[in-house]
Structure 1
């Protein structure tokens, strides 16, 4: 098991209960509106919130800030080809920038886009292109108590049914998200990826892999798919991504950087289209909205992400949090995913009706009780979809220690003890884009 030595530290404090009460009310009972200094342990996301290694910090000093053709881009390009097997790559400032570049190229009005489960910005980008995002998870994906090694898989029959109903020509691509964030961070098997690739070839469309947690997914494959028991995480990652025609990546996850993303493709013609859109929205094709120093750090981070010892420690910490919560009687989604533990809000706050956002009620209470910031991934974040009321505790990479894990468990247990007094919530202000309302909407207790 890998461990880490601290070469730099920052301090944090638990604000007094009175300060937390005032802060969450002023934030409209939406933790996205909280100041970071008002939070003690921040599990809102694992995106860009992790800790870089000393090798990554050293790489920052090698940053070549040339506008075009920088050596930092070459280092990044080499890392993408070596780790992920893609020769053609276009950087973007982060994952949603990469989604805009690729999905704005591939999708148009009237298209139907199947995904094992769309996450929030993915769903919004598909809808923004005029297309219809359709979730095709496997049967048990939305059941927090169902067993299963690969509950993140794509339901291939669902995709076939869409092709039969709307016509194969209406499907511009099949998207596969690994791991499946909206299905509690559950992994996707290599076998399912192969089958999705074969179906995409049958429909004559590209298979796009959202690869932001590809290394964590490869770790689960090693543990659960017999064919790969003796393979390394790096070998599994290359194999799984070999079935994709394109990848879209938020490098703020398994790139282990604080900013960045990219699109990688195999088709030279699609590459040219993506480059032109990237110039319009992100920047020139050898920096794509990123500083050269960040490209250098990303090149190192991609290679570190597929080191077996690193991934074992990373996923192991998440499992340790899940085990501790389970031992404390806190209901969680099982099995535990790679980047986060998902709390079952319907079981934790059963007195809050579905119409009053039990997941958001739990999020507010976690902050109120212990200064822990989590995120709701239920009916508040995904209106109009049939998903369980889950609350995600996403662990930043290489950041928190055992005492922080203990505090999170104690906080969740305290919420469970006072669950009968937790109020529901109603929305009092929200943006026009419903798919993104959870980022800025304001609520009040019912």
Structure 2
């Protein structure tokens, strides 16, 4: 049964999903022999599986949400005018009201927003610090021939640490970097919540301090705001002084310290496609507009249809509903508690959008080149039809200068939970699948590349099983 806070049983629906289903979609049911064939035909890469081969899809929480009746209704208001559509202005007003930024450029998704921002601000030879760059952010920095630098706090790199804000940036390290790099650091990025280390939040105190240091050194501060609402909720729940502060006020305070943000709206925008880059400064917005037009389309549609702009405007407003966020983060915590009770090693504490299995401790006899997180992703699919993704050596890629694996701080398996899609019983199936993999962990094979793309290799690479190397 889901975790029940008995002190809240007098509150209606305090322990259940605050929504009900109007439409259902059949879930594919497959047999183990079929799954073993499917994953082999996919080159042992879960990204290459067909959707009808997957029963519970935890590959990503990006673009996989179930939209609300209000959002489906908003689709019918879509204005498909090429320039100046009413849908754009409804989105602009939502961004202003929810995030506090006056200037917004739509983009078809988050990585497109990153492309516009980094073309505007980043030049070859520069450096871009972040708490932890995610894959596309890192790739876009490198595409500009600049250097991404991760400056997460030491606790953020320790899966067993229970620090409540493991997404925080190491402010002292940022100070040193900016003193050394000077004008070669045009902006500082903060990813809220921090995806690479477990969906861990960034505290308001850390946001304030990072903002002060960045601005004192002449650098801008931008958020990767894909999961801004979950970050705000975890600030409310964990940071002293915020327990009774409305989420809308917490978001405004967060954003008040930044010069803008990129957003993959496919996360906390609660839509299946879309994104934007937002600015506080009009001059910077005008500079970025040239790149938005070049890469995405006119400034009032940016690669999105009017109907999608309207669905996003509605989603931005409803994502801060506290009942929704309590249920959302509570479902993540429920799966975390199920797995923790089985003794499965996890990143602690439970984060905002998914549960992260510590693959290095799950498979301690694996070396880094055995790709432990990837091996777990294949085994979980074969066992239970659950698709998840590795956050480890495969995703990290190679150092562009040396060609060697760019080994990350942690080897993880991410179970990213789509918003408003699965029930608690589905989480039980995931837990049972991992329990079975845990019991046969000594027999799992390692994996090696059979095809390795040069950039963002995890999306399209193929692999083959390989005996686990003997490590001293």
Where on the TM-score scale, by shorter chain, does this alignment land: which range? over 0.9
Q: Which stretch of the first structure deviates more once superposed, 333-342 or 198-207? A: 198-207
Are 1:319 and 2:298 counterparts? no
Q: Which residue of structure 2 aligns with residue 137 of structure 1?
A: 152
Shift of 1:223: 0.9
CA contact under 8 A between 1:39 and 1:371: conserved in structure 2?
yes
Shift of 1:164: 3.3
From 417, 420, 437, the counterpart of 2:457 = 437
CA contact under 8 A between 1:87 and 1:266: conserved in structure 2?
yes
Shift of 1:75: 0.7
Q: Which residue of structure 2 aligns with residue 392 of structure 1?
A: 414
Secondary structure of the 2:348 match is coil
Deviations 1:262-292 (A, max 9, x none): 0000111110011110000001000000010
Deviations 1:290-330 (A, max 9, x none): 01001100001001111111111111111111011111222
Are 1:213 and 2:235 counterparts? no
Are 1:414 and 2:436 counterparts? yes
Q: Which residue of structure 1 aligns with residue 343 of structure 2?
A: 329
Shift of 1:14: 2.3
Q: Which runs of 4+ in 1 moved over 6 A?
A: none
Q: Which residue of structure 1 aligns with residue 193 of structure 2?
A: 179
Q: Which residue of structure 1 aligns with residue 8 of structure 2?
A: none
Are 1:151 and 2:166 counterparts? yes
Shift of 1:353: 2.2
Are 1:30 and 2:45 counterparts? yes
* TM-score under structure 2 length normalisation: 0.93
Deviations 1:330-369 (A, max 9, x none): 2111001100000011122223222110010000000010
Secondary structure of the 2:337 match is helix
CA contact under 8 A between 1:39 and 1:372: conserved in structure 2?
yes
Are 1:423 and 2:422 counterparts? no
Deviations 1:83-127 (A, max 9, x none): 000110000000000000111111110001100000000000000
CA contact under 8 A between 2:447 and 2:463: conserved in structure 1?
yes
Distance in 2, Cα, partners of 1:296 & 1:355: 46
Are 1:57 and 2:57 counterparts? no
Which ranges in structure 2 are unaligned for 5 or more consecutive residues? 1-13, 398-405, 467-472
Describe how 1:72-151 pairs up with structure 2 within 5 A: 72-151=87-166
Q: Which residue of structure 2 aligns with residue 402 of structure 1?
A: 424
Shift of 1:3: 1.9
Distance in 2, Cα, partners of 1:30 & 1:202: 45
From 45, 48, 57, the counterpart of 2:60 = 45
From 234, 247, 255, the counterpart of 1:233 = 247
Distance in 1, Cα, partners of 2:277 & 2:28: 39
Distance in 2, Cα, partners of 1:104 & 1:408: 41
Count of paired positions: 443
Deviations 1:107-150 (A, max 9, x none): 11000110000000000000001100000000111111012111
From 300, 311, 322, the counterpart of 1:297 = 311
CA contact under 8 A between 1:329 and 1:413: conserved in structure 2?
no
Deviations 1:10-59 (A, max 9, x none): 10122111110111111111101110110010000000001000000000
* TM-score under structure 1 length normalisation: 0.98
Secondary structure of the 2:394 match is coil
CA contact under 8 A between 2:108 and 2:273: conserved in structure 1?
yes
CA contact under 8 A between 2:18 and 2:323: conserved in structure 1?
no
Q: Which residue of structure 2 aligns with residue 224 of structure 1?
A: 238
Shift of 1:230: 1.1
Q: Which residue of structure 2 aligns with residue 71 of structure 1?
A: 86
Shift of 1:387: 1.7
Distance in 2, Cα, partners of 1:385 & 1:350: 16
Distance in 2, Cα, partners of 1:149 & 1:351: 30
- Alpha-carbon RMSD: 0.9
Q: Which residue of structure 1 aligns with residue 366 of structure 2?
A: 352
Shift of 1:403: 1.8
Q: Which residue of structure 1 aligns with residue 6 of structure 2?
A: none
Q: Which residue of structure 2 aligns with residue 247 of structure 1?
A: 261
CA contact under 8 A between 2:188 and 2:222: conserved in structure 1?
yes
